[in-house]
Structures are given as C-alpha cells and as structure tokens.
Amino acid sequence: MEDFLYFFSFQDASIAFVVLGITLLGIGSAFVGTFSFLDNKALLGDAISHAILPGICLGFMLAGEKNPFFIVGGAIASGGLATYLTSWLKDNTKLSEDSIIAVVLSVFFGVGIVFLTIIQKSGNPEMAGLNQFIFGNAIGIVERDLWIYGGLSLGIIGVLVFMLKEFQLLVFNPDFGKALGLPMHQIRLVFNILIILAVVIGIQAIGVVLMAALLITPGAAARFWTDRLKTLLVLAAVFAIISGIFGTYVSYTLPQMPTGPWVVVILSFIALLSFLFAPKKGILYRFFHRKKYIDKTQRDHVLKSVYKAEELGRHALSFEELTQLYPNQKKSINKSIKELEREGQLFINQNLIKLTKPGKMEAKRIVRLHRLWELYLNEYMNIAPDHVHESAEKLEHLLTPELEALLENRLNYPRLDPHQETIPRDHDDI
C-alpha cells in the first residue's frame, strides 16, 4: 500500500517522468491505433512493431550504446522499410495482404533476433538492458527519453488533431476524398508514418512484441461504448493511459517484471469488461435484450392466438388448444400465459383463457400490425399472399407507433389484408 501511495504521489521526479511519458505514449498510440482499427489495418501495426527490432539493433551497433537518437532513427528506418515492402508486394504480387504481412513480420523479427544475438556475444558492456526493448520497461524511462518519446507523442497527437477530417475520409470513404480532390495517397503515407512513430515511441515502455496490443486493443474496447469518433478517441486514450500507468506500477513494485505483458493484461481486462457490459453492444446486454425480445414475441403470439379465436366467435381458448398451436414451445407458452395473467391482460377461468379489456386492446394492435405488414409485402414487394405470413410474423414486433401510422397512410387505411381478413382498428369491437 505504501508503494502504491508513493508511486501515485509522484514525489520522485523519475516516477513523474515515467507517468508523463506513459500518458503521452498512451494517447498517441490510442489515437493512431483507433484509426488503424477502423481502417482494418490492425495487422499492419503488428508487423511494424516486430519489424523495428533490426533497426533498434543497428542503431545500437552504430552508436555503441543505447543512444535514443540512434535507437529511434534505426527503428523508424526499419519500420519504414517494412511498410514500403508490404505496400510494394501488395501491388506487385498476387499474395494476399495477410500473407505479405506475415512474411514481412517473420523475416524482420528473425533478422532482429539474429542482430540481438550478435550484440549479446560482442561483449559490449552497454548492451545491458537491450532485451528490455522486446517486452518493455517503462521504469527505465529517464528525462532524455521523455523529451524524445514525449516529443514524438505530442507530434503524433498534433498531426491527428490537425488532420482529423482527412483521416476520417481515409478510413470511412476514401473515394469521396478523391472526388473532393484530396491527395489520398499522400494522406495514407502520412498515416503510415504516424503508425511507425507510434510503434517507435512504445518500444521503451511496451516492447516490440506487445506494442500492437497497445495500438489496437484500446480502440477495439472503446468501440463497444460509442459510435461517435471523437468519443471513441477519448475513451481509447483513457483505456490506454490506465493500462499503461498500472502496468508501469507493477514493474515498479516488481523490478524483475517487464512492463509490456502487464499493460496488455490490464488492457485485456478492460476490453473484457467492455465486451461483456457495454450498453447496447456488450455480450450480456445483447443476451438479455434478445431474451427480452423473444419473451415479448411469445407473449404477443399468445394474445394474438386468443384474439383470433374470439374473431371466430369463440369466447375463450383452453391451455391445451393454445399449446397445440406451438407444440415445441409449451414451457415458454405457459410462462407467457402466467406473466400476462399477472399483468391483467388475460383472465383464466377453469382452464379457459380469455382476454381482458387491456389484453384485447394489445392483441388487436398486434393483429393489426401483422395484417398491415402482410398487405404491404403483397402490394409493394410483390410477394404472393401465401408467402407473406412468416415475414409479417417477424416484422409485427418491430413497428413503432410512428411507423405504424406511416404504413397505414401508405396503404390508404385498408380494411382487409391479402387473405381478406379484417384489419382491426382501435375503435372496432368484436
């Protein structure tokens, strides 16, 4: 607990540097990664993150030490070459994009491991800690690193904010951008450069192996919460910052624990919560929403069946007759009958089911919607009368009062459906 309070009090200047650096890294990476995710370029970020390892090693070889200028320069050169090769192979071969990315990722990362092995056997005392670039060590960020990586992060954020509309067109409608006369190829080039820079600034904190997770996971998790781009970017940045800071805290309390894996673990937990509990798109929400829809559909079928029996001159329907209409759904039908009775829409007397006044009004509305849809499908979609029932069964539960009024107006307030059955109205009585 004391370590927790000390870490988040920022009394140590080095901790403040780490937190500021991981915050800037999180924002920049989340912004770029969100656009990459929306553009279906997630694998490209993964390929670039692995492809910069040879550049890191070459930068170290040239400098003879872990000089951030040489490290960053080598990483940018290596990442740029990987991106160019990916694009060139895509344009000049018949290989699929996934295959090309897999080849580039494997080759560059393999070369990087070879270079790293050579450096380890060279006996250079400055090589200590170079392995941290694979899995990351945010605690190792010092003031000089902050100026370089933080500056690059601010540059990425600034370019994305300044070119927000252009990147929106690139992701959602590049053809419209071309029609407007925008240089979409140059915009794509700028975007690829930003991906490379985002990966480069994460090599110190997250590592080359897991950097793709920091690029893609925040945007993927945030997508469950909103459909608005600006809100999506903000949420993705918040998720990335939270995971980055707490992953760094674990590295702080457990010095032998690399930062990258813990950042990914926390990000995965945030993503899991989003997948499960996000409103409208979360798995649990959709499960209960679907269950609620199925229950409503079943209740509508019960009301409609009793109403049709009354149309035929009967005043009630027995349990057996009703369950025979839905032989594979006896359990759910019985449950729906009990729920409707509790709500006062059905009245049960000696095994006979009757509609109450509120139940009759609701049943009449359902039958009216069903028959309106049947007529619409017949007249406007040219579907034969004997083929419209099943489609109308699905559509009758989805009609709002506004659409119902529009449908009636379009059909000129009809009295009969395609089967010559009466379309009931609110003021009609049976």
Which of 321, 355, 389 is a domain's end point?
A: 355
Rounded Cα–Cα distance for residues 426 and 165 (Å) = 51
30 and 66 in a single domain? The answer is yes
Count of all residues that appear for the chain in the document: 430
Whether residue 385 lies inside any domain: the answer is no
Distances (CA, A) of 344 to 64, 340, 369, 397, 426: 84, 6, 22, 20, 19
182 and 325 in a single domain? The answer is no
Whether residue 380 lies inside any domain: the answer is no
Whether residue 129 lies inside any domain: the answer is yes
211 and 302 in a single domain? The answer is no
Cβ–Cβ under 8 Å, residues 74 and 62: yes
pLDDT tens string 177-228? 888 888 888 888 888 888 888 887 777 667 666 777 778 888 889 999 988 8
How many domains is the chain partitioned into structurally? 2
Whether residue 395 lies inside any domain: the answer is no
101 and 199 in a single domain? The answer is yes
270 and 347 in a single domain? The answer is no
- Structural domain range at position 237: 2-278
Rounded Cα–Cα distance for residues 318 and 311 (Å) = 15
Cβ–Cβ under 8 Å, residues 207 and 262: no
214 and 333 in a single domain? The answer is no
59 and 167 in a single domain? The answer is yes
Residue 233: CATH number of its domain: 1.10.3470.10
259 and 319 in a single domain? The answer is no
Whether residue 124 lies inside any domain: the answer is yes
Cβ–Cβ under 8 Å, residues 355 and 345: yes
268 and 301 in a single domain? The answer is no
Which pairs count as long-range contacts for 348-357, CB under 8 Å and 24+ apart, including other chains?
349/316, 351/318, 351/319, 351/320, 352/316, 352/317, 352/318, 353/306, 353/316, 353/317, 353/318, 353/319, 353/322, 354/306, 354/315, 354/316, 355/303, 355/306, 355/307, 355/310
83 and 19 in a single domain? The answer is yes
pLDDT tens string 57-90? 888 788 777 777 787 788 888 888 888 888 888 8
Average pLDDT over all residues of the chain:
79
Whether residue 390 lies inside any domain: the answer is no
Rounded Cα–Cα distance for residues 54 and 335 (Å) = 65
298 and 269 in a single domain? The answer is no
Say what the pLDDT of residue 273 is.
92
Q: Give the residues of the chain that fall short of pLDDT 70.
A: 1-18, 123-146, 204-205, 207-209, 255-257, 398-399, 426-430
The amino acid sitting at 259 is T
Residue 294: CATH number of its domain: 1.10.10.10
Which of 355, 390, 417 is a domain's end point?
A: 355
Whether residue 386 lies inside any domain: the answer is no
Whether residue 53 lies inside any domain: the answer is yes
Say what the pLDDT of residue 212 is.
75
pTM over 0.85: no
262 and 314 in a single domain? The answer is no
Sheet holding 317-318, edge to edge: 317-318, 352-355, 346-349
Which of 355, 377, 412 is a domain's end point?
A: 355
Residue in the block written with tokens 């050169």: 77
